[in-house]
Amino acid sequence: MKNFKFKYRSILSLLENKEDSIKNRLGQAYSILNEEKNKLNELQLVDRKYSELLRNETSEGCKLIFLRTIESYREELNRKMVFQNDLIKKKEDEIVSIKNELLEAMKEKKIMEKLKEKKLNEHNMVLKKLEENAVDQIVTYKNSLLHR
């Protein structure tokens, strides 16, 4: 491999940096998605808690204003859960988009790596030919010295 210099190495390094950058964005998107799912789970837990409270209070008897207050609060929780579900869907769509972008970047990088590999093989073949020629010249020279 001596003296092999891939003339597109700067492009290859840019593609590697692009791929790393996209991987980082994907990781951040997954992190945000998990946070949003956790928020949704918390809202669902609170909703279940108030639903159970509502069931317990109605079985024991309570004031109508209390029931209305709890029910309006649960309606607000449901609105928040719908909003959170929409947010989660958007984040999942964003992740799919980033995955597609990553796939394209990986394909581009793979193409450049294949080209580098091909050029390296060509370089090695040229070196091998030069080496064979040098060996042939040495052998020819030695044979000519012997036959003198």
Please write the tens of the pLDDT for every residue from 75-105.
999 999 999 999 999 999 999 999 999 999 9
Beta carbons of 36 and 83 less than 8 angstroms apart: no
pLDDT of residue 145: 74
pLDDT of residue 2: 66
Give the tokens for residue 139.
């052998």
| Mean pLDDT, each 10-residue run in order, the chain (148 residues) | 80 94 97 97 94 81 81 92 97 97 95 93 91 86 73
pLDDT of residue 1: 46
First to last CA, the chain: 39
User: What pTM was computed for the model?
Assistant: 0.74
pLDDT of residue 22: 97
- Rounded to whole angstroms, how far apart are CA atoms 137 and 127? 15
